[in-house]
Amino acid sequence: MSDAVPPSTSLPAVEIAAAVRRGERSAVEVLEEHLAVIHEREHEIHAFNLLMDDHARVAAAHVDRQVAAGHDPGPLAGVPVALKDNLCTSGVPTTCSSRILEGWCPPYDATVVARLRMAGAILIGKTNLDEFAMGSSTEHSAFGPTRNPHDPARVPGGSSGGSAAAVAAGFAPLALGSDTGGSIRQPASLCGVVGVKPTYGRVSRYGLVAFASSLDQIGPLAPTVADAAAALEVIAGHDPLDSTSVPEPAPELLARLGEGVEGLRVGVVAELMGEGIAPDVRRRVEAAADALAEAGAKVDDATVPAATYGLSAYYLIAPAEASSNLARYDGVRYGLRVDAPTTAAMNTATRTAGFGAEVKRRIMLGTYALSAGYYDAYYGKAQKVRTLIIRDFAAAYESFDLLLSPVSPTTAFPLGAKAADPLTMYLSDVCTIPSNLAGDPSVSVPFGTGDDGLAIGVQVLAPALAEATMLRAAAVLEDAVAGNHPGGRR
């Protein structure tokens, strides 16, 4: 590991919000403190594609005026929040880290962005990502890679690597990412922060630039489980603008974090603990299982047989949906336009210049999987495998309340180590993809370090809409890794 300066830390979001609401801290003061940290290390980390300094200062001053007038600005009052750069933000460039959206400013806010504003949060910038969220290292960005704050020679994970790095470096107490196959949880694990993928439909996707619409979900990254729970309470809940939104109010999460795991049945997923998982990662998952058992949970081995086919099914379903979703970038309606003598030539020239190699690779794979003569053999069969995965998870949840597994097979790998080998890179998501295919929630919780001293997260998985139970277990693990239970000690 390098001799890099360790990441900065900031107060938890819930503490900042409480202090601002009581008038003990100024939102402007909190913002300037975080901007100072950003300006000190951003050149080294590159977590952001765009800083929204001026917008943020106006918003922070407004929060302070509300407090001075005796009004409550909301549950995230004065909390700086970083937004993944695939979330539409009114009047602010939203690039998806792609040249093809060059110069495009959305005329509206994504629902989650609007809800953060209403909760008093201060939006400080748009974070870097793998182009159109396609990647596991944040190296596939038109604006260059993001670096891991714990060791800038290594990746932060992806595709929400900028958001994870922003939280890990102390640039923001909260960030939002999107998770299609592990893009919140895997970078959370590699950067040593908490990352939540909610149940599909729990959080509105309105205003999220689509990658794979049946898989995409927005969720928070935070330094603590409580902060992640507070953010999820704000952004969750039904949205009539999203036809896939679950018609339920936002769940109560923060108030239930202290309920513990006494009597809960927890299964360690055997299929996600075998070949390809580094020994130090496996040991941390086993230690997490011990910690839950010591806290009163009943822990046993679990099996989700079809999970072993998750990677294969995902890399047909997700590219197929991406091929359809990205057809809209044609040089006419959004962003970049490369002129040519005919419309067809202009479309081709624009897409050739605007899309990076990984996006082109997935578009071609998806188009092939959807083409006449191959649809049933590839896309249709992948959807049948997805059904098997859903059934196997449902069967496992008949015997267990929660499941436990690794998040990433390894700790953070060096920049460039897997960039030239897409198949090796894709294996980074082998443990996270199954819950995307099932639509169930899961969370990455920091649980110590590996043999190289780098962060390792463990994954708690839950049945649909069981975020409250899932986060209770995550809070127990967070407590355990601090040394309050022997199973959590390194």
Q: Is residue 356 part of a domain?
A: no
Task: Point out the catalytic residue in the list 160, 163, 178, 183.
Answer: 183
Q: What is residue 484's predicted lDDT score, i.e. its pLDDT?
A: 59
In this predicted structure, the answer to whether residue 329 has a pLDDT above a threshold of 80 is yes
Whole-number Å distance between alpha carbons of 204 and 208: 9
Whole-number Å distance between alpha carbons of 11 and 42: 19
Q: Which two tokens stand for residue 133?
A: 């969220």
Q: What is residue 439's predicted lDDT score, i.e. its pLDDT?
A: 98
Question: H/E element holding 123?
Answer: strand 122-127
State yes or no: is 2 an active-site residue: no
In this predicted structure, the answer to whether residue 396 has a pLDDT above a threshold of 80 is yes
Q: What is residue 94's predicted lDDT score, i.e. its pLDDT?
A: 98
pLDDT in tens, 12-70: 999 999 999 999 999 999 999 999 999 999 999 999 999 999 999 999 999 999 999 99
Q: Which two tokens stand for residue 360?
A: 């082109």
Q: Is residue 381 part of a domain?
A: no
In this predicted structure, the answer to whether residue 3 has a pLDDT above a threshold of 50 is no
Whole-number Å distance between alpha carbons of 353 and 381: 33
What are the Cα distances from residue 414, in Å, to 47, 283, 373, 410, 421?
17, 22, 41, 11, 14
pLDDT in tens, 462-481: 999 999 999 999 999 999 99
| Average pLDDT in the chain | 95
Task: Point out the catalytic residue in the list 10, 26, 84, 435.
Answer: 84
Read off the CATH number of the domain in which 112 is found: 3.90.1300.10
Q: What is residue 374's predicted lDDT score, i.e. its pLDDT?
A: 92
Of 330-334, 349-353, 396-400, the range with the lowest mean pLDDT is 330-334
Q: What is residue 253's predicted lDDT score, i.e. its pLDDT?
A: 98
Share of the chain above pLDDT 70, in %: 96
Q: Is residue 202 part of a domain?
A: yes
What are the Cα distances from residue 287, in Å, to 42, 401, 405, 428?
35, 19, 11, 22
Whole-number Å distance between alpha carbons of 10 and 8: 7
Amino acid identity of residue 204, one-letter, is S
pLDDT in tens, 152-196: 999 999 999 999 999 999 999 999 999 999 999 999 999 999 999
pLDDT in tens, 374-395: 999 999 999 999 999 999 999 9
Total count of domains within the chain: 1
> How does DSSP assign 339-388, residue by residue?
--SSHHHHHHHHHHHHS-HHHHHHHHHHHHHHSTTTTIIIIIHHHHHHHH
Q: Is residue 274 part of a domain?
A: yes
Containing domain of residue 302, as a range?
A: 13-306+390-488
| CA 37 to centroid of chain Cα atoms | 22
Whole-number Å distance between alpha carbons of 159 and 417: 16
Whole-number Å distance between alpha carbons of 236 and 108: 19
Task: Point out the catalytic residue in the list 97, 98, 159, 435.
Answer: 159
Q: What is residue 2's predicted lDDT score, i.e. its pLDDT?
A: 39
Q: Is residue 348 part of a domain?
A: no
Assessment of whether the complete model's pTM goes beyond 0.85: yes
Query: Would you say 151 and 120 are in contact if contact means Cβ atoms under 8 Å apart?
Result: no
Q: What is residue 9's predicted lDDT score, i.e. its pLDDT?
A: 52
Q: Is residue 378 part of a domain?
A: no
Share of the chain above pLDDT 90, in %: 93
State yes or no: is 84 an active-site residue: yes
What are the Cα distances from residue 33, in Å, to 26, 55, 56, 57, 172?
11, 16, 13, 12, 10
Question: H/E element holding 62?
Answer: helix 53-68
State yes or no: is 159 an active-site residue: yes
Q: Is residue 450 part of a domain?
A: yes
